[in-house]
Amino acid sequence: MSHPPRLTGGPDTRLATRWLIALTLLGAGIRLLFVFLAGDLEPQADESHYLYLAAVWKHFGVYSDCAYYLWPPGYPVFLGLCLRLFGAGGIFAAKLVQVLLSGVVGLVTMLLAGRLFSRRAAWIAGVLWCVYLPLIGFTHTLWPETMYLAAFMPALYLLVVWWQHGERTSASNRCLIAAGMLIGLSLLIKEVGLWWAAGLAVLVLARDLRHSVAAAASRAILFALSVSVLVLPWTLRNHEVYGRWTPVGATLGQNLYWGLNGSYLNFDYTPAQLNQLAKINPRVYRWLLATPPPNWQRSDSPNVIDRSAEDVQRGLRYAGDHPGFALRTRIKKLADWVTPLSFFVRHYALGRYHDVLASPAVRRPLLAAALVLPMVVLASAIPGFWRSMRSSRAATVLAFTLIYFVPTTALINGMSRYRIALEPLLIVLAAGFLAGATWRGWRRPAMVLSAVGWTALGFLWWVNAPEVLALVRSAW
């Protein structure tokens, strides 16, 4: 099995490293420019909730829940710390920190592309990341995605490095420990990867099981303990406050309420567009969303953890009672997950940007780029994935990550925001294809699977095309 060239050693490597650093600084600089151009944006939806939790933490020193969510503490505590240190300027300071953290995301994205594919792929991934507007949009707003990716991507990179490492050395163990602790940190920001971490522990065990059961078990335990050392204190806190064992937060019930119910909801669209959906996209409304069963109602338990657990049961029972409707709406949710839209486009449709960013000469090119870039990345990531499966010794980690995150996000409450956790990895896979965009040397199964993937992607884009065009027209 061939291995891609590493970005290590010699004058060429120093030149390559300078290019990676230059691209990282360029991408961070672009994001910093957007922070200044966007100005003081009015908090919207969950941004207001994060600020509320941050203010409660700052003034009273306690962490509250948010009615139907028990969010992990990482991002509200970060905002609260910024408010405590910088007062009214804390929000601006938080955005500056997010710009710095985005540089971590960009650099690791390039390093991962270089390790999995080639130096050329690393540079292409860097260019894509620099101008990728769906990611840029999260650095000048108050969402936890940038901070989450700044922990998640280095953890994924270290896992890939460890998986490719042939020797059983203390250095590889340190790599595994660091990956586990970063995953634990990411779980304190967003809990979406909780069962991903559990599955990774099983993979770590299985990797060397045939060589030495004792060594494989010790590594799996080492990884699990590295994750737990970050998560366990907050788990104990949740048990003390709520009397329930929950590792980091309780959000699944509310997500099922929004995503697996009779009323269709997608936060990529404006409220006015959702109200007119039957007129905007009558064929899809008729085929996938028409004649919904009555909504199931949320639990009214006073304990937010119990409330979330009961809502999960109600959502699953609803799907079991109405399997045809649940299946039809999952097709729509998959289409929502691969949509070329983003919160960046939605903010334009809501009129949140002003001054320079709102001028037609700036707004329209940005809107066009914000639509085209996700389409290029999604389409290119499909053959890039199959190429990585053939050329990388870390294919197991990549495949498991995609298999875990796609259904746990797309099939519950699909929208562009829930794709962000995988967006840098998709950029890596897309860069791997674009760096050697040729079918020469490819086996027929990879070509067939890529064609099937493109067909499915095209169909899902067709499903949502009327809604996407309607939103773009309102923003244009």
Q: Which of 370, 402, 389, 399 is nearest to 432 (CA)?
A: 389
- The domain total for the chain is 1
For residues 153 and 468, give the distance between their C-alpha atoms in angstroms, rounded to a whole number.
29
Q: Are 364 and 348 in contact (CB under 8 A)?
A: no
Task: Kindly compute the dihedral angle of the four CA atoms of residues 223, 226, 230, 232, in this order, to the nearest 10 degrees.
Answer: 70
For residues 356 and 347, give the distance between their C-alpha atoms in angstroms, rounded to a whole number.
15
How is residue 402 written in tokens? 């995609």
Residue 210 is classified by DSSP as: T
In angstroms, the first-to-last Cα distance of the chain is 49
Of all residues in the chain, what percent carry a pLDDT higher than 70?
Answer: 94
Tell me, yes or no, whether 1 lies in a domain. no
Place of tokens 């983003």: 342
For residues 264 and 262, give the distance between their C-alpha atoms in angstroms, rounded to a whole number.
6
Name the phi and psi angles at 69, rounded to 5. -125, 140
- Domain of residue 66 covers 10-475
The residues pairing with 250 across neighbouring beta strands, listed in sequence order, are 70
How is residue 167 written in tokens? 């020797």
3-state secondary structure of 198: helix
How is residue 337 written in tokens? 């997950």
- Separation of CA 471 from chain center: 22
**Confidence (pLDDT) at 126:** 96
Q: Are 191 and 72 in contact (CB under 8 A)?
A: yes
Helix H segments across 244-359? 252-259, 271-275, 277-280, 282-284, 304-321, 323-337, 343-349
Tell me, yes or no, whether 267 lies in a domain. yes
For residues 137 and 61, give the distance between their C-alpha atoms in angstroms, rounded to a whole number.
30
The residues pairing with 70 across neighbouring beta strands, listed in sequence order, are 250
Tell me, yes or no, whether 2 lies in a domain. no
Residue 285 is classified by DSSP as: I
**Confidence (pLDDT) at 439:** 56
Residue 379 CA: distances (Å) to CA of 284, 299, 371, 444, 454: 23, 40, 13, 18, 7
Tell me, yes or no, whether 216 lies in a domain. yes
Tell me, yes or no, whether 3 lies in a domain. no
Tell me, yes or no, whether 5 lies in a domain. no
Tell me, yes or no, whether 155 lies in a domain. yes
Low-confidence ranges of the chain (pLDDT < 50): 1-12
For residues 147 and 50, give the distance between their C-alpha atoms in angstroms, rounded to a whole number.
14
Query: Which are the contacts of 107, defined by CB distance < 8 A and separation ≥ 6?
Result: 20, 21, 24
Tell me, yes or no, whether 347 lies in a domain. yes
pTM comes to 0.93
Q: Are 422 and 402 in contact (CB under 8 A)?
A: yes
Query: Which are the contacts of 432, defined by CB distance < 8 A and separation ≥ 6?
Result: 113, 116, 117, 118, 121, 384, 387, 388
Compute the half-sphere exposure of residue 136: CA atoms within 13 Å on the CB side of its CA: 28
For residues 179 and 162, give the distance between their C-alpha atoms in angstroms, rounded to a whole number.
9
Residue 289 is classified by DSSP as: I
